[in-house]
């Protein structure tokens, strides 16, 4: 592959991931639905493109990280989408968290043009994107993974090839199921500790060193204590992820009650107008259930 790389989706995660590719020496071609969000990477030397098609015409490897399944479908298969500009031998990589079935359908369509495809959702939040420590869960053909590995290393530190296209998304669903339960547990612990009159900073520091230790306690609990509910990962997007996980579970005949309950709690947070806050805002829904005024 040559040095020209495409990147589509410059939101909370994508802007840092794209910036790290520039820092790694790649010649970046970018597109975002809101052009102003590209200003920071264009200032670093990225080339603005007016559509996904133009990105694909200029870059032999293209990464995407957008919002919802309909956004993924539009970027890849729309009238001015990547499929219109991708060339034989190109590799397109979707890092959005989306439906596994959508990824396999896109891969099939691209294969008709001789274009390779990988799904590679990520975990690690805005901090992981900034610091290049993302976990990247990759589904692709065996011969595609070694080609993509240098690019992934610019964005993440835990990179795993999990199987064919769709495997990355299924792994991300497992990841989100764990996060859903953990976020609920951490939020309940904060509400409980506050009601009990504990020093919450000391409590968090103490329990994070024992069996309760986890990424959520280390990274999101301190944000709650600062009153910082800005998104590392938005509630709207997490509800989307949990909905996909519920639908996939239903299709497999599984019952995952903890996941279903946590999704309902997040729907309550969204109903309070917090859909664009970070997932740590769940504590507000639990406060409301407890009568409020705890944190």
Catalytic residues, by residue number, are 172
- State the CB neighbour count (10 A cutoff) for residue 50: 10
- State the CB neighbour count (10 A cutoff) for residue 141: 17
Total residue length of the chain: 295
């Amino acid at each position: 592959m040559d040095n020209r790389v495409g990147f589509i989706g410059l939101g909370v995660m994508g802007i840092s991931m794209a910036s790290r590719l520039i820092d790694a020496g790649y010649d970046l071609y970018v597109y975002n639905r809101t052009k102003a969000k590209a200003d920071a990477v264009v200032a670093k030397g990225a080339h603005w493109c007016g559509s996904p098609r133009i990105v694909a015409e200029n870059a032999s490897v293209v990464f995407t990280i957008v919002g919802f399944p309909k956004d993924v479908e539009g970027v890849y298969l729309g009238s001015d989408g990547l499929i219109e500009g991708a060339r034989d031998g190109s590799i397109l990589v979707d890092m959005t968290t989306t439906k596994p079935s959508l990824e396999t359908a896109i891969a099939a369509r691209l294969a008709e043009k001789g274009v390779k495809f990988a799904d590679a959702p990520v975990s690690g939040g805005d901090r992981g994107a900034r610091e290049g420590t993302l976990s990247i869960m990759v589904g692709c053909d065996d011969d595609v993974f070694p080609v993509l590995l240098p690019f992934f290393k610019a964005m993440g530190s835990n990179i795993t090839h999990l199987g064919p296209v769709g495997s990355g998304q299924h792994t991300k669903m497992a990841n989100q199921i764990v996060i859903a339960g953990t976020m609920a547990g951490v939020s309940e612990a904060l509400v409980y500790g506050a009601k009990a009159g504990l020093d919450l900073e000391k409590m968090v520091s103490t329990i994070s060193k024992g069996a309760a230790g986890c990424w959520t306690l280390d990274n999101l609990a301190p944000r709650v204590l600062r009153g910082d509910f800005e998104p590392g990962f938005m509630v709207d997007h997490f509800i989307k992820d949990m909905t996909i996980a519920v639908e996939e579970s239903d299709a497999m005949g599984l019952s995952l009650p903890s996941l279903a309950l946590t999704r309902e709690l997040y729907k309550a947070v969204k109903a309070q107008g917090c859909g664009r806050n970070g997932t740590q805002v769940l504590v507000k829904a639990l406060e409301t259930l407890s009568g409020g005024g705890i944190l």
